[in-house]
Amino acid sequence: MIGKKIILTGGTGGLGESIVKELIGRGAHVIVIGRNQQRLKSLSETYQNISVFQLDLGDKVQVRKFINDVQRDGQTFDGIVNNAGYGYFKSFEHHTDEDITDMFNVNVVHTLLLIKGLVPLLRPGASIVNIASQAARVTTPYGSVYAATKAALLSFSNALRLEHPELHIMTVSPGPIATNFFSRADKTGLYESTTKSIQLDKDALARDIVEAMIDKKLEVNRPGWMHQSLTVYHLAPRTIEKILRRFFLSKKF
């Protein structure tokens, strides 16, 4: 990764900052896109080989301006890691119109616009890494909108891989991660507490992601037992949903 220039969205905390540390530790220069100016400033003061850009991925105008700026500068890049995203764990009817549109914009629509604008600036063999979720592969009541955004991102990534064989396109589908994601997704704190024993370590996951980028892997699925269980689930999903109904309703509080 020495000398590689990697763009990272959602890099100001949690898994994103762990990816920043891992990339920089391996010699990459990281261009971090984030919304929180104070956290961006802290990153720039903490790490070398880093550039920061304040950008709200929920704002299409800001996304377009960033794309125009980097296109005008004539820069080229070795990768994009799309980590920005969020979700809510509540019933579908309790999502407001803004909840739905804003989540799809950040998790899917504007992420795709960013990729579309940056693909011409990627060097041959460059990586596009999209952070999806194990929720993309399973029926997720009381998290239906979030799961739908991640399923869309996963489907898009697999198709884009065939359209652009000159690029390395990788998906990352993690289960619950020990970050502050839950403080927004579930303000009751109950889902976080019930999944604490299986939550992934963000630093270990970041290391797996960067190593997979180096090895040009197509997928990172963690934890392995969850991915394998969902592969079995897809053999008879409706039957398994009936048998394990209480498990599938685990986000209902």
User: Does a cis peptide bond (omega within 30 degrees of 0) precede residue 120?
Assistant: no
Tokens in use for 5? 């220039």
- The amino acid that residue 205 corresponds to is L
**How crowded is residue 232: how many other Cβ atoms within 10 Å of its Cβ?**
10
> Which of 88, 142, 146, 191 is the catalytic position?
146
| Tokens 């970050």 belong to residue | 179
| Alpha carbons 17 and 145: distance in angstroms, whole number | 25
| Alpha carbons 156 and 246: distance in angstroms, whole number | 31
Query: In sequence order, what E strands does 83-224 have?
Result: 122-131, 168-174, 219-222
| Alpha carbons 78 and 199: distance in angstroms, whole number | 30
Residue 168 φ/ψ, nearest 5 degrees: -100, 115
Q: Is 146 a catalytic residue?
A: yes
- The amino acid that residue 73 corresponds to is D
Question: Which residue numbers are catalytic?
Answer: 146
